[in-house]
């Protein structure tokens, strides 16, 4: 009994010490960036593991995928969805990454502080994808997994303290904060999905938006996360849907396409163009995108523009395709409702 009590006391002391250390770090976020020197090069065990797994011996995609599996605990299905590849393909990639680490005898240890920037891109990608999985779950019975969103934001805040001079670390944190500010408004009382344009903006977390603004002001330069954060900020500051500055959003997506072209970015740009001009213009751009035929959000976006343009039969066909590809039951229910409206 004495040993048990002693062990419990030790565990409690350790938890209190850990909490105190993390509280001190988070308090320092009040004025980012900070001029104080952080004596702990890696202030959190999970963040430490992420940097450890993002080893440059692996290709960046393999680093990110392996870290999402080994540290963040995402399933192969969830990781495959994030990379827009079949589950079997992602499974094979993970096996190859583990084999390469084993065969090369890669030492899994926290890198020295001067090597951290070399791993930053992969670490940011991990945090971004963890947040995205929380924001729109792959197959959970609910749309939002708040635990993943909160954990990604927590780690992003610690990273911002650890590397306050890295603008993309700050920009990613701001991006998460802007998106997460809408969490309470995205789901109706019955658990159904509410689109951005239909959300009660009085439910948006203004403290998170203000925090995102403050962090973004500290992020100098113009990288991919900065551009995405700027787009999210435009949405966050529109008090009503019709006050959204869609022209500015299109400009930001143009910059993003030029900086980091990808089919998904092109899809988002097309959707923004449709809102800034008229549905058919965005629809024409979507129909020119290659490589996303199995991406459910392309078909959902196409269906929505067809619906807005009064092309109900074509909209129904696209909704059926989106429904066939979607895995989250909340999103599937939304597509079923839309299909019933146009069918």
3-state secondary structure of 187: strand
Model pLDDT, residue 13:
46
Question: Is 303 within 8 Å of 322 (Cβ atoms)?
Answer: yes
Peptide linkage before 242 cis (omega within 30 of 0)? no
Distance CA 245, CA 195 (A): 17
Identify each DSSP E strand in 94-154 by its residue range.
none
Model pLDDT, residue 9:
47
Model pLDDT, residue 94:
86
> In 10 A of CB 96, how many CB atoms?
14
Q: Taking the chain (343 residues) in consecutive chunks of 10 residues, what is each chunk's mean pLDDT?
A: 48 47 39 39 70 81 83 82 86 85 72 84 92 79 81 91 91 98 94 94 97 95 95 97 97 97 97 96 97 96 96 97 93 95 89
Complete DSSP assignment for 200-226: -GGGS-HHHHHHHHHHHHH--S--HHH
Q: In degrees rounded to 5, what are phi and psi of residue 293?
A: -65, -25
Which two structure tokens, joined as six digits, stand for 149? 């969103």
Question: Is 332 within 8 Å of 326 (Cβ atoms)?
Answer: yes
Model pLDDT, residue 15:
46
pTM over 0.85: no
């Amino acid at each position: 009994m004495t040993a048990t009590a002693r062990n419990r006391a030790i565990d409690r002391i350790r938890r209190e010490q850990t909490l105190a250390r993390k509280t001190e770090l988070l308090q320092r976020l009040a004025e980012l960036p900070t001029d104080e020197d952080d004596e702990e090069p890696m202030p959190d065990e999970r963040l430490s593991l992420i940097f450890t797994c993002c080893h440059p011996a692996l290709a960046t995609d393999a680093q990110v995928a392996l870290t999402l599996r080994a540290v963040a605990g995402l399933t192969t299905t969830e990781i495959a969805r994030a990379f827009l590849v079949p589950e079997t393909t992602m499974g094979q990639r993970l096996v190859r990454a583990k084999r390469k680490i084993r065969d090369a005898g890669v030492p899994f240890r926290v890198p020295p502080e001067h090597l951290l920037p070399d791993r930053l891109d992969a670490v940011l990608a991990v945090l971004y994808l963890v947040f995205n999985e929380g924001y729109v779950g792959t197959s959970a019975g609910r749309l939002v997994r708040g635990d993943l969103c909160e954990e990604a934001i927590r780690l992003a805040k610690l990273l911002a303290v650890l590397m306050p001079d890295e603008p993309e670390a700050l920009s990613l944190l701001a991006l998460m904060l802007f998106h997460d500010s809408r969490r309470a408004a995205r789901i109706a009382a019955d658990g159904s999905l509410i689109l951005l344009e239909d959300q009660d903006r009085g439910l948006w977390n203004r403290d998170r938006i203000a925090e995102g603004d403050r962090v973004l002001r500290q992020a100098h330069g113009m990288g991919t996360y900065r551009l995405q954060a700027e787009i999210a900020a435009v949405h966050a500051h529109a008090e009503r849907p019709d006050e959204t500055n869609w022209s500015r959003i299109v400009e930001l997506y143009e910059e993003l396409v030029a900086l980091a072209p990808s089919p998904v970015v092109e899809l988002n740009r097309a959707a923004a163009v449709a809102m800034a001009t008229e549905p058919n213009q965005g629809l024409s751009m979507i129909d020119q995108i290659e490589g996303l035929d199995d991406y459910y959000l392309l078909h959902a976006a196409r269906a929505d523009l067809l619906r807005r343009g009064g092309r109900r039969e074509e909209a129904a066909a696209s909704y059926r395709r989106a429904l066939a590809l979607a895995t989250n039951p909340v999103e599937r229910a939304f597509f079923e409702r839309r299909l019933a409206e146009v069918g």
